[in-house]
Amino acid sequence: MQKPGKATPGPLSLNTATVKVQWSLAECIEGCLRHGITGISPWRDKLAEYGVANAARHIREAGLTVTGLCRGGMFPAIDAAGRRAALEDNFRAVDEAAALNAQCLVLVVGGMPAGSKDIAGARGQVQDGIAALLEYARPAGVKLAIEPLHPMYAADRACVNTLGQALDICDALGNGADDTALGVAADVYHIWWDPQLAAQIKRAGRRILAFHVCDWLVPTRDLLLDRGMMGDGVIDIPAIRAQVEAVGYDGFCEVEIMSSENWWKRDADEVLRVCVERHASVV
């Protein structure tokens, strides 16, 4: 059957979390070269291990596109000092993204501070933090991509849980449909279930700055570390891809699989080989 949207998906990018246990960032870069993967999205811990200058040079020499830097965010804190420390770390993340020429800095916004039950207050802190970060990121030419996470993470990882909530922040901060300095990262793992998904993708338009793929396994054995390879779960990835393409997204499909009991235990070259095959066959 013909897939919706383009006959083939956009180019493939490797989010380094997919092989974080097996490989360093340098090994990820070389692995992308071996397997014909043209994009990469590093995590900041691996970037720190390698060094920003070393990584930037290696990625540039390899001819890879940095589709995103993971991650900024984690804005809420119990007091003003904590919020300031979080913002300063986000400023460093913007600097790192600029050094890598990353297409965006992905924001996992954070949940409620320890001991808090005030999710509305946490969301207010997130919006305030993003507003301050946007003032720093604009002059640096770094785009910010709010990544809504599945509601199961609302308490501890991300109190922004739908594309609609993320776009509300964009709108509140004055980022209309034609302003892509602040946008969203659409990860199918986190948004596939949303009954408002199609409408919110249309609303997002050009503000979709990144598109992440993996799959939702049934049953899911671990809420964080049991993501599936594309095609092994229940998400209709081509349908979501067609929707984001219909509003103008023409970038990379970034594979991000956190899998402590399966893919992290396999040979990393095998993992990349399967990613490439599934990207062509089921994305």
H or E segment to which residue 30 belongs? helix 25-35
Range of the domain at 168: 12-281
For residue 39, give the H/E element and its range. Answer: strand 39-41
The DSSP symbol for 282 reads T
User: What pLDDT, on the 0 to 100 scale, is given for residue 177?
Assistant: 82
**Residue 185 forms beta bridges with which residues?**
210
Q: Domain for residue 3, yes or no?
A: no
- Residue 217 maps to a domain: yes
Residues across the chain: 283
Total domains in the chain come to 1
Given a contact cutoff of 8 angstroms between Cβ atoms, the answer to whether 123 and 160 are in contact is: yes
Report which secondary-structure segment, H or E, holds 209: strand 208-213
Within-domain flag for 157: yes
Q: Is 0.75 topped by the overall pTM?
A: yes
Q: Which of 52, 51, 146, 54 is nearest to 98 (CA)?
A: 52
Distance CA 37, CA 209 (A): 19
Mean pLDDT, consecutive 10-residue segments, the chain of 283 residues? 59 98 98 98 98 98 98 98 98 98 98 97 98 98 98 98 98 89 98 98 98 98 97 98 97 98 98 98 97
- What CATH number does the domain containing 88 carry? 3.20.20.150
- The answer to the question of residue 7 being in a domain is no
